Amino acid sequence: MEKINYKNIPNCLRKYRRVRGLKQHEVAVILGLKSASLISRWENSGCIPDTVNVFRLSILYRTMADALFIDLVRRLKPELLKREEMLLKKSNDRD
């Protein structure tokens, strides 16, 4: 599997926040964070939110969690499907 640099994962966080008409500070308050700096880091791909915060953001932004990171999903999907296909082929060859 291709090594992914988790410090530069493109995302749609800013887009969805703006669609909802929210400011970073407002998102931070709603999520119970101490400051908006973490929201900024998430949106600028400085780091990624943990799993719980991804789901919180998806609820707040009224979208599915994978939509927040759709470019990553599009990048991973073909690779995983190919590996799955190879595994199934090996399994069928053994039978």
What is the predicted pLDDT for the residue at 9? 85
pTM above 0.75, yes or no: yes
Question: How is domain 13-69 classified at the CATH fold level?
Answer: 434 Repressor (Amino-terminal Domain) (1.10.260)
What is the predicted pLDDT for the residue at 94? 77
pLDDT digits 0-9 by tens, 40-59 = 999 999 899 999 999 999 99
Q: What residue spans define the domains of the chain? A: 13-69
Positions in the chain short of pLDDT 70: 1-7, 95
The phi-psi region of residue 3 (left if phi > 0; otherwise alpha if psi is between -120 and 50; otherwise beta) is: beta
The phi-psi region of residue 42 (left if phi > 0; otherwise alpha if psi is between -120 and 50; otherwise beta) is: alpha
What is the predicted pLDDT for the residue at 2? 61
